[in-house]
Amino acid sequence: MKIVVLDGYTANPGDLSWDKLKELGECVIYDRTAPHEVTARASEAEAILTNKVVITRDMMGALPALKYIGVMATGYNVIDMDAACERGIIVTNIPAYSTPSVGQTVFAHILNITQRVQYHSEQVQLGRWTNSVDFTFRDTPLIELLGKKIGIVGLGQIGYNVARAALGFGMKVWAYTSKSRLQLPPEIKKMELDPLFRECDIITLHCPLTESTRELVNARRLALMKPTAILINTGRGGLINEQELADALNNQRIYAAGLDVLCEEPPRNGSPLIGARNCFITPHIAWATTEARQRLLQIMVENLKGYINNKIVNNVTPTAKS
């Protein structure tokens, strides 16, 4: 079986091993693949693996040997699923591999905003502590998390992970979720979306990007938030109207935002959030710890083994849901 990895670099820039994948067949690994290169590179492949390279209906039509697409991520919107179903192509994804790492990044942003660790470290390097008349130096508010209310939008595995960490800090946890109150542990309170935005000190987004959640954070909801509130997004950039969030930050309508995702990645055309007041942006790295990427590669191999052995796991093709 010929296996082609179209964009392997982000998952494995060289610090991990492809050996287990290579044991499954003739394997060709590309760091990156442009759209016009897909059909030539995958022309004889029975299995292709992609992270962000889009696989369209036309591409599938030009790849008669293709039987399996392994998405090296949880989201699989890069695949034309209707076309895959019509052609009998199995599509798998990799769920939950980055749950601990994403939760860790949520609190990295929260702690950076509340304790201003990066800022004060930079001030030390600039000599401001050295020149301080006191034993301590600070010139921004420092915020304690104990007793603060955190609102979690979407209570899947990552949302639960964040909730557990928040409880460890002594926070009060509220969630907007499709789960019933009876399904929630007593320390997590269910709340509707608008009251969540109105009452919580921190809002963190962990819902999928769909037509119903696109720009869920907009001027109307931002107007509900406390002026001391913090917004965190490690989900998808499209959950937020970027201009309206930038306006809310610049006008001090909310206190701060910590973001790991933007609508355009990388933001080659710019973003109103770059340079916005108290907006802290990381370049989509929440998923990318060494441990999470190792899990990704392990699950990727197990998914492909399942296909080879006719014991398919993590199947996201429409027939798997019928």
pTM score of the predicted model: 0.93
State percent of the chain over pLDDT 70: 99
* pLDDT at res. 318: 78
Is 32 one of the catalytic residues?
no
* pLDDT at res. 184: 95
| Residues 175 and 151 sit within 8 Å (Cβ to Cβ) | yes
Cβ-based neighbour number of residue 199 at 10 Å: 16
Q: What is the pLDDT confidence band of residue 293, given thresholds at 50, 70 and 90?
A: very high
Q: Encode pLDDT of 169-196 as tens digits.
A: 999 999 999 999 999 999 999 999 999 9
Q: Dmax of the chain from CA atoms?
A: 74
On whether the 2-95+290-320 domain is CATH 3.40.930.10, my answer is no
* pLDDT at res. 319: 63
Q: What is the pLDDT confidence band of residue 320, given thresholds at 50, 70 and 90?
A: very low
Amino acid 7 reads: D
Cα–Cα distance measured from residue 102 to residue 157, given in angstroms and rounded to the nearest whole number: 10
Q: Encode pLDDT of 113-150 as tens digits.
A: 999 999 999 999 999 999 999 999 999 999 999 999 99
Is 302 one of the catalytic residues?
no
Domains 2-95+290-320 and 99-281 in one fold: yes
Is 265 one of the catalytic residues?
yes
* pLDDT at res. 270: 95
Tokens linked to 147: 């007793």
- Select from 245, 192, 195 the least CA-distant residue to 215: 245
Q: Which CATH superfamily is domain 99-281 in?
A: NAD(P)-binding Rossmann-like Domain (3.40.50.720)
What is the total residue count of the chain? 322
**Which is catalytic among the residues 41, 214, 284, 302?**
284
**Which is catalytic among the residues 86, 122, 264, 265?**
265
Does residue 316 sit in helix, strand or coil? coil
pLDDT over 70 (residue 295)? yes
Q: Domain segments of the chain: what residues?
A: 2-95+290-320, 99-281
**Which is catalytic among the residues 116, 206, 221, 236?**
236
Cα–Cα distance measured from residue 240 to residue 217, given in angstroms and rounded to the nearest whole number: 5
* pLDDT at res. 321: 41
What is the 3 state secondary structure string of 138-185?
Answer: CCCCCCCCCCCEEEEECCCHHHHHHHHHHHHCCCEEEEECCCCHHHCC
Q: Encode pLDDT of 68-82 as tens digits.
A: 999 999 989 899 999
Cα–Cα distance measured from residue 72 to residue 50, given in angstroms and rounded to the nearest whole number: 6
